Chains A and B, each alone.
Chain A
């Protein structure tokens, strides 16, 4: 099992450019999520999904879009990059169901710099 994979590992964008951060998992997890990590702020939820075709916003969704067409993939799109989106982005997945909250498994992260 590869677990949760993310590409690219590093990316530099110019203000106004768009791009897609890729995330895939091979654990058949229903739940997938995107976080951004900024110094001193922990991890903040951007968007999450509880299954193919179902997504919802987290704490900081502005400037980002997601879609979930398959169980495995959950790409994050930056529509028009801004310097405030410079951050480390983590994708995560976990099992859903059983009336419990199971732990999330994280990908290795994507370090994004917007100039």
Chain B
């Protein structure tokens, strides 16, 4: 079975603090894909990153970075020097490799960044 767990329901930080959002996944597939999406208060879902299971390199994009560790089945997301505009719900998702694949979403982490 495939499952994504985001244990942090809600996190509050003060602007400029660093924050890490945790994502733990379960899958029996040897090839799989992981994603992060952002849902700001306006409600739309914005794609942030896609990572496949055979690429364990960490990725950095501006203030955002992602740490993928197969050994612990985790794909954590860190925001450095958080800003109020980072306030949103963040979802981690997992997909398998097969043609009719489905996405499995975690329950999301709500991040509140206070000025």
Q: A residues within 8 Å of B by Cβ? A: 33, 35, 40-45, 48, 50, 56, 58, 88, 90, 92, 96, 99-106, 108-109
- A48 / chain B contacts, CB cutoff of 8 Å: 100, 102
Q: List 6 A-B contacts (CB under 8 A).
A: A42-B105, A42-B107, A48-B100, A99-B97, A100-B33, A101-B97
- A106 / chain B contacts, CB cutoff of 8 Å: 37, 44-45
- A90 / chain B contacts, CB cutoff of 8 Å: 45
Question: A42-B106, A42-B108, A56-B100 are contacts. A101–B33 as well, Cβ < 8 Å?
Answer: yes
Number of chain B residues close to chain A: CB under 8 A? 27
Cα distance, A43 to B43, chains bound together (Å): 13
Q: Are A105 and B47 in contact (CB under 8 A)?
A: yes
Cα distance, A40 to B5, chains bound together (Å): 12
- A42 / chain B contacts, CB cutoff of 8 Å: 4, 6, 91, 105-108
Q: Are B101 and A101 in contact (CB under 8 A)?
A: yes
Q: Are A45 and B102 in contact (CB under 8 A)?
A: yes
Cα distance, A45 to B102, chains bound together (Å): 8
Partner of B103, one of A45, A88, A108: A45
Sorted nearest first, the 3 A-B pairs with minimum C-beta distance are A101-B95, A106-B45, A42-B105
